[in-house]
Structures are given as structure tokens and as C-alpha cells.
Amino acid sequence: MKRPLIGTSWKMNLVPSRAEAYCTQLKPLVEDLHDRTVFVLPPFPAIPAAVQVLSGSNVLWGAQDVHPEDEGAHTGDVSAPMLADLGCTFVEVGHHERRRDYREDDALIAAKVAAAQRWGMTAILCVGEAARLPYGQAKAHVLVQLQFLDRFDQGKLVVAYEPAWAIGTGAEPAGVDWVASIHAVIGGRLREAAGPADPAAVIYGGSVDPARASDLISCPGVDGLFVGRAALKPEVLADIAHARLAARS
């Protein structure tokens, strides 16, 4: 089994001073964890604060987006070499809010994956259906979002299944059986693309909280958890990161 990944994207929350306080509080809460990887994805202005606090610790950091080009006239954008220079390990791409708000399509997202990997970082490719669908339609939707998978280096890739209907205040959490079934689809596609090499990890995000963390991370095909709003409190992320990993069937 892969080393579990437990991480969070702060979205557009926590100014740099609050980010520094968050990381300072989080670091000792997870320093005992040696069998799993913990990471945080601050907004761009807060990444240097995370670097300052987390350097030398067992908590990794990354970014929530990246431009597909390495440099140029792209006002307001941030490139992969800029993120690599800050020591980022992970770069999130393709989150449903980016797809929805900025009309990002799979071709653009694939180019962002390539940019992150080109600079030695691991891309966290987010996939998932916007509305609750029957299983067959959800499966087809996710497979379309993985259409460029064969271009990627799976050694520097994590796929995050985040059904949009299970994200946000008042959302309906996805059941463990549903998560397992979709992760099986994603895992099968990854193994097909990887051939004899090890396939990428598949993590789950969508209404993850301490009460559900152990059941979710123990689910077959789930290699970790990608936590949203619940992890804006460092003690909550630490609780989730300590979730018991039960034996899998």
C-alpha cells in the first residue's frame, strides 16, 4: 500500500500572518507522524510564510494552481519555476472551482500538469462530477477528465477525486461504497496507463472531517485524504492526519 497522503488546500483563506500562525501550530501536532505524508496548499502570497515555518519539518507545502507556460506576458499568473523556487512539492490543478469559474478544460489542465512535472513537482489532478449522477455517468465523466493521462509521469502525479456535490457547507457527503467504486475506476485507468510502473496515488476530498476520516482512508483504493474547509483549523487537520488506518478487505 502507498504511504498515505493527508493534505489540505486553504483556497482563498488565511493572509500570510495567519498562515504563519497556522503552520506554527500545526508543526508540533503532526511531528510524530512517520508513516504518512502531510501537506498544505496555501494561497500564493502565503506560501513564503509556510516555507519559513515548515522548512525542515515533516509537513510539505505546495500551490493551488499554476500557469502552463514557464514565463512571459501573463499578468497576474504564477509559473512552475516560481513555485519550484519556493520549494513546493505539490501543485493542485483542475479543481472544480477553476473548471467552473474560469472555464478551464481538460486540455489546459493537462498543460498545467505538464508544467508542474517539468519542474520536478507533483501535480494533484482534481477530477469529479459537478452534480450527483448515476454511477455509469459519473464513471464516464471521470474517465473523460483522465483522457490525457498517458502524457503524464505517474511518478509525479496524484489524482484527487472530489465530487463537487459533496463539497461545501450543507453538501451531501459521499458514502464509503461510492468512494470505493469511483476510486476503483480511477485506479484501474491509472494502472492501465502506468503499465509495469507504479500507478499514481488516488486521494479523496469531499466533506472530509475527523468523524469520517478513518472510514475513508481505510477504504479500498483510497491512498489519502484531501481536506477542505474543515482543515482551516490546524488541530482539525492534525486529527484527520492521525486517523486510524484499518485493515483493508
95 as an active site residue: the answer is yes
Strand pairing class (59-63; 90-93): parallel
List the catalytic residue out of 67, 95, 96, 183. 95
Task: Quickly list DSSP for the chain.
Answer: -PPPEEEEE--S---HHHHHHHHHHHHHHHTT--SSEEEEE--GGGHHHHHHHHTTSSEEEEES---SSSSSS-TT---HHHHHHTT--EEEE--HHHHHHS---HHHHHHHHHHHHHTTPEEEEEE--SS---HHHHHHHHHHHTTTGGGS-GGGEEEEE--GGGSSTTPPPPPHHHHHHHHHHHHHHHHHHHTTSPPPEEEE-SS--HHHHHHHHTSTT--EEEE-GGGGSHHHHHHHHT---PPP-
Strand pairing class (5-9; 224-227): parallel
List the catalytic residue out of 92, 104, 129, 162. 162
183 as an active site residue: the answer is no
Catalytic residue list: 95, 162
